[in-house]
């Protein structure tokens, strides 16, 4: 009953096990429909979510189980001042596993220390989002493969938890990683340190054009206006990190464009109709990947 807190705990072997199982599930989802009929998954979302919450819900239901949802912070006793530690201790008594999203970095690790059921980090502030990483890796493996992979990761690299998780996991497949962002939004020191420790180079660019022709995958993230002290500073940089179909004329024909979503305006809609666009398929991959993870976590051999 291991908790899933960070991409850092996933070895190449762990990743391949989950992705292989997800591929088996995607090929024949009906075969897994009665797998966990008595299982209840506790959903604790202290921050908004569409994809993570709905795909975990879908995954649990497609495995034959069900969810128990705290609902919004506003409608729960968190509103009355109940602590995260007390909340998870209560809800673990109702459920077989917990999924937690919370605005505070480190919250999932802290919460996991109070419970015996497996807890999955569904995003802790600017920290980690390991299940997003698994579906990202599934999408990368399907489209570009892991051999000789060159990937560009662009946007808000400082606060983006999907980036922090993915960058670490990509060191396990020896990907060549390029980080494209304004100087003010470069990778935080802690992630940089972890990448160096893992033997990965941190190649940074402020201009996508410099590296675009070499990329097999371009992973775009949202530049978050709310992070800038001054709106004019935001407007100045944001436009440089938006792509449209014209931008991609300089890319390889088989470049895969990904985005964890939600997007705002960093990928123009004219990219959606190109063969590069994989971000909606990426979001759909969340279901088989989370089914695989839940099945393995909850005892897939039962």
Nearer to ligand CP, 212 or 287 (CB): 287
**Is residue 165 part of the contact set for ligand CP (CB under 6 A)?**
no
Q: Give one DSSP letter per residue of 127-185, joined into a string.
A: S--HHHHHHHHHHHHHHT-STT-EEEEES-TTT-HHHHHHHHHHHTTT-EEEEE--GGG
Nearer to ligand CP, 123 or 200 (CB): 123
Pick from 152, 155, 160, 260 the residue near ligand CP by CB under 6 A: 260
Nearer to ligand CP, 210 or 272 (CB): 272
**Is residue 52 part of the contact set for ligand CP (CB under 6 A)?**
yes
3-class SS of residue 203: strand
**Is residue 160 part of the contact set for ligand CP (CB under 6 A)?**
no
Provide the 10 A C-beta neighbour count for residue 12: 13
Mark 116-135 with x for binding to ligand CP (rule: CB under 6 A) and - for no binding: ----------------x---
Of 43-51, 190-198, 272-280, 291-299: span binding ligand CP (CB under 6 A): 43-51
The CA–CA distances, whole Å, from 261 to 52, 73, 225 equal: 10, 22, 16
Pick from 23, 26, 29, 49 the residue near ligand CP by CB under 6 A: 49
**Is residue 261 part of the contact set for ligand CP (CB under 6 A)?**
yes
Q: Which residues are catalytic?
A: 51-52, 80, 101, 129
Provide the 10 A C-beta neighbour count for residue 79: 10
Of 48-56, 103-111, 144-152, 228-236: span binding ligand CP (CB under 6 A): 48-56
* DSSP code of residue 255: P
Pick from 9, 11, 37, 50 the residue near ligand CP by CB under 6 A: 50
- 205 prior amide bond cis, ω within 30: no
Phi-psi sector, 155: left (phi>0), alpha (psi -120 to 50), beta: left
The least distance separating ligand CP from the CB of residue 172, rounded to whole angstroms, comes to: 21
Q: Give one DSSP letter per residue of 3-71, joined into a string.
A: -B--GGG--HHHHHHHHHHHHHHHH-GGGGTTTTTT-EEEEEESS--SHHHHHHHHHHHHTT-EEEE--
Nearer to ligand CP, 182 or 260 (CB): 260
Nearer to ligand CP, 118 or 260 (CB): 260
Q: How far is CA 240 from the centre of its chain?
A: 24
Pick from 3, 51, 168, 178 the residue near ligand CP by CB under 6 A: 51
The least distance separating ligand CP from the CB of residue 236, rounded to whole angstroms, comes to: 27
Q: How far is CA 14 from the centre of its chain?
A: 16
Q: Which residues bind ligand CP (CB under 6 A)?
A: 49-52, 132, 260-262
């Amino acid at each position: 009953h291991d908790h899933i807190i960070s991409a850092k705990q996933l070895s190449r072997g762990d990743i391949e096990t989950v992705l292989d199982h997800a591929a088996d599930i995607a090929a024949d989802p009906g075969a897994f429909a009665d797998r966990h009929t008595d299982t209840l998954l506790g959903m604790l979302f202290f921050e908004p979510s569409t994809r993570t919450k709905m795909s975990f819900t879908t995954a649990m239901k497609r495995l034959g189980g069900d969810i128990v949802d705290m609902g919004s912070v506003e409608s729960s006793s968190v509103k009355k001042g109940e602590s995260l530690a007390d909340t998870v201790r209560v809800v673990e008594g109702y459920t077989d596993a917990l999924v937690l999203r919370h605005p505070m970095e480190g919250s999932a690790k802290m919460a996991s220390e109070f419970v015996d059921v497996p807890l999955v980090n569904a995003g802790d502030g600017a920290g980690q989002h390991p299940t997003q990483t698994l579906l990202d890796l599934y999408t990368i493996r399907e489209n570009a493969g892991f051999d000789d992979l060159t990937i560009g990761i662009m946007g808000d690299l400082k606060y983006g938890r999907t980036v922090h998780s993915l960058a670490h996991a990509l060191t396990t497949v020896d990907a060549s990683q390029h980080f494209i962002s304004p100087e003010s939004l470069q990778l935080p020191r802690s992630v940089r340190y972890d990448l160096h420790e893992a033997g990965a180079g941190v190649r940074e660019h402020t201009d996508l054009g410099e590296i675009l022709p070499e990329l097999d995958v371009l992973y775009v993230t949202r530049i978050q206006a709310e992070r800038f002290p001054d709106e004019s500073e935001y407007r100045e940089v944001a436009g440089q990190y938006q792509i449209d179909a014209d931008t991609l004329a300089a890319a390889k024909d088989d470049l895969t464009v990904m985005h964890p979503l939600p997007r705002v305006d960093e990928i123009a809609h004219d990219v959606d109709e190109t063969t590069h666009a994989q971000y909606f398929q990426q979001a759909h991959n969340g279901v088989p990947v989370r089914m695989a993870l839940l099945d393995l976590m909850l005892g897939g051999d039962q």
